[in-house]
Amino acid sequence: MQKGQIRVQTENIFPIIKKFLYSDHEIFLRELVSNAIDATQKLKTLSSIGEAKGELGELRIDVVLDAKEKTLSIIDRGVGMSAGEVDKYINQVAFSSAEDFLSKYKDASIIGHFGLGFYSGFMVSDKVDIITKSFTDAKPVYWSCDGNPEFELYEIEEAERGTRIVLHINEESKEFLESYRIKAMLEKFCRFLPVPIFFKEAASEDEPKQINNTNPIWVKKPAELTTQDYQDFYKELYPYGETPLF
């Protein structure tokens, strides 16, 4: 009898991620926004038990499309990461920070579990950058990888608390540089997530627009709801539908 550990050849993991991680490539946006939600919910939990000090400020997620630079950025103001945490949770495939957090704090608001969601970004990107600053006193760090096993990781001087993921969209995935496409995906996957999500085009002077309803009717008590509340919610789900019979 032989026992041992299954070995993963790192040179082969990225082709698998790019082609086979998910059959539907638009899932990458759901995964990265879910990670940003988790980072924000973690900060709320840590603040509530006194482990995160100071003012939290406005907790929101921004999705910024820059078609000229061919980038899509997902930005949160959550817990952020230190260099050690980036090395632990990003440089080790399928090692989940959410799983660690769940086991320690038993927080039911955390979405992710398996640690693969971040790597879905490589399905549509030539390169992925991370700029992140922990809520602790750790130095901000920059991480970058172009879809090969090699990566860059070093400390930087300035960054806001939280994490910015920058996807450098590849030629095969240029559909994800269309604003209508990103907006439709956000509305499809993120409509009722609990942290405000804003979408903005870098070239536009318009204010970012909030995509989601963070307070849907199912989080309220039935006794508080009126017939109009139910009808408004139905219209939110089916804006072109007829008024419901019941």
Q: Which two tokens stand for residue 231?
A: 């009808």
User: Per-residue pLDDT averaged across 83-98, rounded?
Assistant: 74
* Residues in CB range of 25: below 8 A, 6 or more apart: 123, 124, 173
pLDDT above 60: residue 203: yes
pLDDT in tens, 228-244: 878 877 877 777 777 77
The DSSP-derived string for 97-109 is HHHHHHHHH--TT
pLDDT above 60: residue 214: yes
201, 218, 193: which is closest to 59 by C-alpha?
A: 193
User: First and final CA of the chain: distance in angstroms?
Assistant: 65
Whole-Å CA distances, 90 to 130, 159, 221, 246? 10, 19, 40, 49
Q: Which two tokens stand for residue 97?
A: 């920070």
**What per-residue confidence (pLDDT) applies to 7?**
58
pTM, 2 dp: 0.81
Could you give the CA distance from residue 109 to residue 48 in angstroms, rounded to a whole number?
14
pLDDT in tens, 68-80: 999 999 999 999 9
178, 180, 183: which is closest to 209 by C-alpha?
A: 183
Percentage of the chain modeled with pLDDT above 90: 52
Q: What is the mean pLDDT of the chain?
A: 84
pLDDT above 50: residue 5: yes
Could you give the CA distance from residue 33 to residue 78 in angstroms, rounded to a whole number?
12
153, 177, 130, 103: which is closest to 36 by C-alpha?
A: 130
**What per-residue confidence (pLDDT) applies to 88?**
84
Beta-strand relationship, 141-145 and 125-133: antiparallel
**What per-residue confidence (pLDDT) applies to 235?**
77
